[in-house]
Structures are given as C-alpha cells and as structure tokens.
Amino acid sequence: MSATPVLALRGVSKRFGAVQALTEVELEVHAGEVVALVGDNGAGKSTLVKTIAGVHPIDEGAIEWDGKTVSISKPNDAQNLGIATVYQDLALCDNIDVVGNLYLGREIRKRGVLDEVEMERRSRELLDTLSIRIPSVRIPIASLSGGQRQVVAIARSMLGEPKLVILDEPTAALGVEQTAQVLDLVERLRERGHAVILISHNMADVKAVADKVAVLRLGRNNGTFEVKTTSQEEIISAITGATENAVTRRAARTTGEIKK
C-alpha cells in the first residue's frame, strides 16, 4: 500500500447554521483500499461524503489529495481531481438503454453525430472488465433489476477513470444475490487500484468487502478499525457509542494479538 493516501481529511469541520454537522473529522483512503464509513442516522456520513464530492464546501480543516492540500468547492472540482460519487438515487434514465446511460452527458461523437458503435464497444469492454452481467447493453434501464441498475450506475462512475469512488449505500434495498453482485464489483474496483469509500448500514457487507471501517458518531470520529481484527460487536458499539473510543481500539488490538 502506498504511503501517501489518495485522499486525506485533516480536521474537517462543517457547520449548517446552528448545527455542527462535522467536528474535526479525520479520514484517510489509500489506493486499492475499501474504507467503510459507518455511523447511525445523523452521524454525518452523508455530509462528509458531500464535502468530498464538492456539494458542501468545508468550513475548517484541510482536504489532501495525493498529499497536496486542495480546495473542493463545487462538484466539478471533485470530478476533475478524479472523485466519482454514486448517490443512493442512482440518477439513471429509465427510458434510455445501458449504453446511452453510461455515456449520458459525455457522448462520443464523430462529425457531430453520436458514435453508437464506438460507445457500445467501449461499454461492453468496461462491463467486461468489471465482470458485470446484464442481459444486453441495448435494453432500457427500466428492464433491469435493482442490482443491475446499481452496477450500471457504478460502472458509469468508472468511465472517467476516477482514483476515488464514493458509494452511498449501494446495497440498500437490494436482494441477496444482487447485493453479492455489487459487493463483487466493489472488490473488483479495489483490485484495479481504485480507492473506495463505502457508506453502509449493513455490517455483513462491511465485513465482507471493507479493509478499514471509519466510524462517525455525532459528527466526530469514533474510531477507525481494521476489519480483519475487529468483531462486529465492537464496530456496533462504536457506532452506538456504547464504548469509549480508546478502549475499543485497545480491545481491538489485544484480540488481534490473541488470534495471532
């Protein structure tokens, strides 16, 4: 793993009027690493993601990209850096086929005319490299299942070759097999060297694919855990605030040593 994280948040704070949404939050994501961002409702997960995606500029602290401090004040800034965000509502057009959705807003043109052949070829290539199975790239999104739509939305975010992909609850409202498909895809993103931030409420998903778990509680860091050496209960108690931050970390360390 590279020494410099792709993205690092240093003491990021964000305030909405009287509400302190984020207080001095720290977060590091390395290339080829899946960081799960967990926390209860209102813990600040979405706000944190939106500050990274440029929807809400930060008030205090710094965002470092490849070790350099950058300012992300609008969504375009984030996109230009190489940050792709897949929001919960997938923002796909039901009536347009898979190829059209993948290239929506960045169509490949040849002499001013849509180059459907080239777009279809590249779409197939992209879906193949991500091992995404869908019936056909020429059927409307409406024909796809929820899981298939999710993988199409994620594939769409991959078109710009982003360094960091943020997935906002990609497995919420998905069935068992569809969830597995999405998790497979997350693993493939990691294998290809992308950094991934995964927001999830589902501990099983987190345990399945994440390398690290960053817990937010009431807008503050409440511990960062190595998934392999941490039990589900420890993460949950960090989310709910049942344990002290330092104690959890210590417990995580000792159980890790015992297992070895």
Partner 1 sequence: MSIDKTSTPAENSADQVAVENPDAAAAAVTAVDPRLLVREQGLAGYIGEFKRKMKAGDLGSLPVVVGLLIIWAIFASLNSNFLTAGNFSDMSVAMVGTGMIAVGIVFVLLLGEIDLSVGSVSGVAGAAFAVLSVTHGMNEWLAMLLAVLTGTVAGAIHGFFFARIGVPAFAVTLAGLLFWNGFMLQVLGANGTINIDPEGVVAKLTGYFFADVAAAYGLAVVAVVGYFLNAYFDNRRRAAVGIPSRPLSEIIVRTVLLAVVAFAVAIVFNQYKGLPLAVLIFVVVLLVTDFVLRRTAYGRKVFALGGSVEASRRAGINVTAVRISVFAISGTFAAIGGLFITSKIASANQGAGAGDLLMNAIAAAVIGGTSLFGGRGRTWNALLGVLVIISIQYGLALQGVASPVQYMITGGVLLVTVVIDAITRKTQKTAGRA
Q: Which residues bind partner 1 (CB under 8 A)?
A: 89-96, 100, 104-107, 109, 112-114, 116-118, 120-121, 124, 127-128, 131-133, 135-136, 138-140, 142-143, 176-177, 179-181, 183-184, 187, 204, 207-209
Nearer to partner 1, 92 or 164 (CB): 92
Nearer to partner 1, 138 or 228 (CB): 138
Report how far Cα 25 is from the mean position of its chain's Cα atoms. Answer: 17
Least distance between partner 1 and beta carbon 63 (Å): 22
Nearest to 206 by CA among 176, 221, 186: 186
Least distance between partner 1 and beta carbon 115 (Å): 10
Nearer to partner 1, 143 or 224 (CB): 143
Nearer to partner 1, 132 or 198 (CB): 132
Least distance between partner 1 and beta carbon 92 (Å): 6
Least distance between partner 1 and beta carbon 221 (Å): 27
